[in-house]
């Protein structure tokens, strides 16, 4: 079973910052995020994801809210990951990037750099933004009002994200692995014949290449995406190495996995490993349900999420994860309801319970994030083409 955690603020419950052990005054410090990521590494987790956005957090869908009793403001996810990379050794670092309003060339070199800094533990979570107020920060494009029943802009947004991933993947391959010679005696630093124009032209992007950053240590850092319905499931199937999904029970988990596998086949990726991880918000411990109720009372409403919300013991959660794993999920991304309580409960209660059942590793065995997930280092597409007989 693969396990990861999604880190966001003081936890996923909007009142978590008011818990006794919360550190609200430190949310904008590097030390806070390093502590959380190091705790996740002590639990031998595959990777952490770091949330990010282009607007203040909100309790409303696709628009700001006026609340002042919840966490607002955040640090840049890529820069948090870069800060944590030198002080961790094994855990993967997967920051969120909003593809809709950031250039793929910039993101490709940022994640490639993170892969170098972390010696092969970088990934990226691709997010789509179709909200009017986020578009207004940039002034380059507009969107019709949501909700999300408008199919055309939503489909376009995720098709654009698929092209975005294709561009960053080509840029990561635009340097062959041995393009750098670094021979001081002959004065040759690079073999210019092993740098390649990617010449991508599509509906949303026209990118010449090559990158300014040599091919990352993993060759291709991990690409991940979250999906709740058919359109984002297709993005996962077409473009991602890992997809995060939000089933409510084992039956729905099986249906989602089957849909993604069918889309994967249709995209010509039948032979590739695409992990599908289930997302769960978790409150763990003997008093987890009462703790959630207390946080709900502080918030003034019953907390619900796009993902299922679990409150119970580590053994009960292990039962649930194994049931959903049998339905076809290859692992889970857990969202701690409150930090540090539920993050520590994952590492000190859930992980040992899964280890006792023979369901989780007892030590890191691979050196890279792709290795943790059983993914091979891909061959360079341009090197393959260059070596094909004419």
Instruction: Note the pTM of the prediction, 2 decimals.
Output: 0.95
pLDDT for the residue 153: 72
Could you tell me the pLDDT band of residue 92, with boundaries at 50, 70 and 90? Answer: very high
Residue 1: CB partners within 8 Å, gap ≥ 6?
321, 322, 325, 330, 331, 332, 354, 359, 360
What CATH number was assigned to the domain covering residues 2-174+214-387? 3.20.20.30
pLDDT in tens, 243-283: 999 999 999 999 999 999 999 999 999 989 999 999 999 99
pLDDT for the residue 154: 85
- The structural domains of the chain, with segments of one domain joined by +, span 2-174+214-387
Q: Do the Cβ atoms of 251 and 278 come closer than 8 Å?
A: no
pLDDT in tens, 315-370: 999 999 999 999 999 999 999 999 999 999 999 999 999 999 999 999 999 999 99
Torsion of CA 179, 185, 186, 188, to 10 degrees: 30
Could you tell me the pLDDT band of residue 139, with boundaries at 50, 70 and 90? Answer: confident
Token readout for 69 is 């009793």
Q: Give the span between the Cα atoms of 279 and 254, in whole angstroms.
A: 14
pLDDT in tens, 45-71: 999 999 999 999 998 877 889 999 999
Share of the chain above pLDDT 90, in %: 89
Report whether pLDDT(388) > 60: no
């Amino acid at each position: 079973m693969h396990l990861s955690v999604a880190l966001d603020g003081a936890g996923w419950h909007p009142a978590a910052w008011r818990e006794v052990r919360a550190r609200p005054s430190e949310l904008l410090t590097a030390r806070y995020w390093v502590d959380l990521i190091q705790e996740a590494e002590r639990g031998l987790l595959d990777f952490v994801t770091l949330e990010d956005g282009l607007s203040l957090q909100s309790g409303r869908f696709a628009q700001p809210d006026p609340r002042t009793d919840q966490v607002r403001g955040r640090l840049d996810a890529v820069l948090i990951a870069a800060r944590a990379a030198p002080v961790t050794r094994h855990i993967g670092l997967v920051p969120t990037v909003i593809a809709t309003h950031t250039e793929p060339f910039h993101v490709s070199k940022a994640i490639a750099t993170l892969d170098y800094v972390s010696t092969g533990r970088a990934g990226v979570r691709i997010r789509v933004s179709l909200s009017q107020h986020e578009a207004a920060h940039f002034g380059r494009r507009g969107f019709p009002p949501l909700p999300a029943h408008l199919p055309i802009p939503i489909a376009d947004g995720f098709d654009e994200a698929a092209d975005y991933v294709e561009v960053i993947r080509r840029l990561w391959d635009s340097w062959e692995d041995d393009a750098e010679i670094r021979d001081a005696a002959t004065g040759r630093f690079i073999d210019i014949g092993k740098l390649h124009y990617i010449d991508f032209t599509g509906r949303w992007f026209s990118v010449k290449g090559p990158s300014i950053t040599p091919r990352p240590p993993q060759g291709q850092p991990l690409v991940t995406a979250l999906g709740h319905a058919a359109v984002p499931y297709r993005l996962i199937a077409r473009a991602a190495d890992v997809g995060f999904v939000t089933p409510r029970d084992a039956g729905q988990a099986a249906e989602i996995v089957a849909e993604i596998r069918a889309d994967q086949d249709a995209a010509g990726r039948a032979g590739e490993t695409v992990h599908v991880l289930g997302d769960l918000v978790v409150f763990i411990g003997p008093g987890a349900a009462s703790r959630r109720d207390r946080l709900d009372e502080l918030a003034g409403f019953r907390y619900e999420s796009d993902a299922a919300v679990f409150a119970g013991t580590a053994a009960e959660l292990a039962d649930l994860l194994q049931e959903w794993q049998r339905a076809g999920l290859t692992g889970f991304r857990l969202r701690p309801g409150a930090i540090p309580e539920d993050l520590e409960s994952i590492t000190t209660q859930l992980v040992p319970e899964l280890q006792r059942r023979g369901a989780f590793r007892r030590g890191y065995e691979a050196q890279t994030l792709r290795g943790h997930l059983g993914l091979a280092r891909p061959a360079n597409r341009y090197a393959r083409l260059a070596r094909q007989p004419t």
